[in-house]
Amino acid sequence: MFKSNDILRKQTALKGERKISMLVGISLAFTIHVVGVYWWYQNDDLLYPLIMLPPKSIPPFWHAIFIIMVNDTLVRQAAMILKCILLIYYKNSRGRNYRKQGQMLTLVEYLMLLYRALLPTPVWYRFFLNKEYGSLFSSLMTGLYLTFKLTSVVEKVQSFFAALKALSRKEVHYGAYATSEQVNAAGDLCAICQEKMHTPIILRCKHIFCEDCVSEWALVKSADLRSFSDGTTSLLFQIF
């Protein structure tokens, strides 16, 4: 029994090292790509919208689309770099806290969704203020765009603060903390990690596991949020 547990721990540790190596490789590849693209297109007004400033000159329609799509793609890659760093941090930390890891990944994604919603604003603001279409038309289009954009951004802000609030919550969403009597009755051995239970949780099905172990598979978000706890990110482009 103890020999098989040792083998299982060694296999788990080896898999963990491989995952960390893969995460480091992905982070380096995305970092090189993001830096390289911005260096290559440094004269194409890509950097100004990143700090919420309009391009220097009024961009043609397709150039505006180009700026927005490139920035949106690279910001998503930057978010993935941050998520990889978080995954490496939690994999190397003593006593994996899967619930906190999932909450942090969800928070990063909602922050990026908010930032990506703002990214096209300075580009289209400059585009719609083109006086060649007439002052009335440009003012009307700018006003309509900013109105619709404000509605979208308010929703993203609310979601971000909901994710931030969920980060500070301590309650367990998938069961309750087990008493010492319940733990002793179950044998005080976690069926997932095969070790003495640490902060045991009793599920609604009455099974008991370590909190960190069960959090890897259980829900880690509040009811009003979509979970990005596995590190996923939205693949849809934020064009407008």
* Residue range 32-79, pLDDT digits in tens: 999 999 999 888 788 999 999 998 888 889 999 999 999 999 999 999
- Note the pLDDT tens digit of each residue in 74-126: 999 999 999 999 988 887 765 556 777 888 888 999 999 999 999 999 999 88
| Residue 3: predicted pLDDT | 46
* Residue 130 vs residue 120, higher pLDDT: 120
pLDDT in tens, 173-225: 566 778 888 888 888 788 777 777 777 888 777 788 887 676 655 544 455 66
Pick the residue with more confidence: 131 or 234? 234
- Alpha-helical (H) ranges within the chain are 2-40, 47-50, 61-92, 98-118, 120-128, 135-167, 180-186, 211-215
Strand partners, 202: 176, 208
Nearest to residue 191, comparing CAs of 218, 220, 215, 214?
Answer: 214
pLDDT of residue 130: 75
Query: Residue 68 has what pLDDT?
Result: 94
150-170: pLDDT as tens digits: 988 998 999 898 888 877 765
The predicted model scores a pTM of: 0.75
The full set of domain ranges for the chain reads 2-169, 171-229
96 within 8 A of 212, measured Cβ to Cβ: yes
The pLDDT assigned to 1 comes to 44
Give the HSE-up count for residue 194: Cα atoms under 13 Å, Cβ half-sphere.
10
Architecture of domain 171-229: 2-Layer Sandwich (3.30)
